[in-house]
Amino acid sequence: MKKIQQAAAFVFCMMIACHSMTGFSQSQDSTKQRQFKNVIRYNLSGALLFGVDRYVVFGYERILSKRQSMSMNIGRASLPKLVTISTDSFQLQKDLKNNGFNFSLDYRFYLQKENKYNAPHGLYIGPYYSFNNFERENQYTFLKSGGTTQVASSDTKFSIHTIGGELGYQFVLWKRFSIDLVMIGPGISAYKIEAKFGSDLTEEQRAQLRDAVQDMLTQKFPGMNYVLSDKELNANGVMKTTSIGFRYIVHIGFVF
């Protein structure tokens, strides 16, 4: 939640800064200027939330008319590194695998009555679809009676499909540099978690690891504390649920 608040504050500051800079960077009406039809961009807010080395997502926006465009984003999106997880019975040893990716599409309508400039500069609304997939394998050590230990592993897959609508504003500064702010993006999300554990574990040990996996997702993924507040993995290590989703993004890009 703290990271979400920090990101929201960052978005607000970017909006103020861009609004101030636009007055200096755009001295002519855009209808008298050449209209560029392409934007390549980088997802800056995702990198700030998850880590620059773990979230590398790029996008492309194609202008279809003066008031409409379509865009696509794709790239790597893995969960942040775990801190030590331990109880009286087991302890996290290391991450064996940590992969993931992000993919999204949106269609934008730049509002004619609200915008002085042609797309891609201005206020827009539109539908979007996003897909996030994460896979993580961790190794644990269980403490057994007599001081002996037992090594176990968990393989967790976590996916999110979201469909919704967004409201945003894209600034174009000095004709070429863009800052794209998706400010509001409510939606409906389908969540699925699958956690598999070693066959030599007892049911008590499996239950402990199921709790550890759920705690990990709650702590490391923004908003999951709300989604999983009254849910838990079943005996097979699977959980499916549908809940409210959200989207807010800060992109920086180049217009050409």
- Mean of pLDDT values over 22-44: 68
Q: Give the model's pLDDT for residue 25.
A: 43
- Mean of pLDDT values over 124-135: 97
The CATH T-level fold of domain 2-255 is Porin (2.40.160)
Lowest-confidence pick of 88-92, 94-98, 173-177, 225-229 = 88-92
Which range scores top for mean pLDDT: 29-33, 89-93, 116-120, 121-125? 121-125
> Where are the domains positioned within the chain?
2-255
Query: What is the C-alpha separation between 160 and 148, in angstroms, rounded?
Result: 39
- Mean of pLDDT values over 226-239: 85
Residue in 1, 120, 7, 10 with CA at minimum distance from that of residue 60: 120
Q: Give the model's pLDDT for residue 92.
A: 78
Q: Give the model's pLDDT for residue 86.
A: 63
For residue 21, pLDDT over 90 is answered with: no
For residue 253, pLDDT over 70 is answered with: yes
Residue with the bigger pLDDT between 190 and 14: it is 190
For residue 17, pLDDT over 80 is answered with: no
Q: Is pTM beyond 0.85 here?
A: no
Confidence of residue 201 (pLDDT cuts 50, 70, 90): confident
Residue in 30, 123, 134 with CA at minimum distance from that of residue 80: 134
- Mean of pLDDT values over 203-227: 80
Of the CA atoms within 13 Å of residue 115, those in its CB half-sphere come to: 23
Mean pLDDT of the chain: 84
Q: Give the model's pLDDT for residue 4.
A: 45
- What amino acid occupies position 109? F
- Mean of pLDDT values over 148-172: 92
SS3 of the chain: CHHHHHHHHHHHHHHHHHHHHHHHHCCCCHHHCCCCCEEEEEEHHHHHHHCCCCEEEEEEEEECCCCEEEEEEEEEECCCCCCCCECCCEEEEEEEEEEEEEEEEEEEEECCCCCCCCCCCEEEEEEEEEEEEEEEEEEEEEECHHHCEEEEEEEEEEEEEEEEEEEEEEEEECCCEEEEEEEECCEEEEEEEEEEECCCCCHHHHHHHHHHHHHHHHHHCCCHHHHCCCCCCCCCCEEEEEEEECCCEEEEEEEC
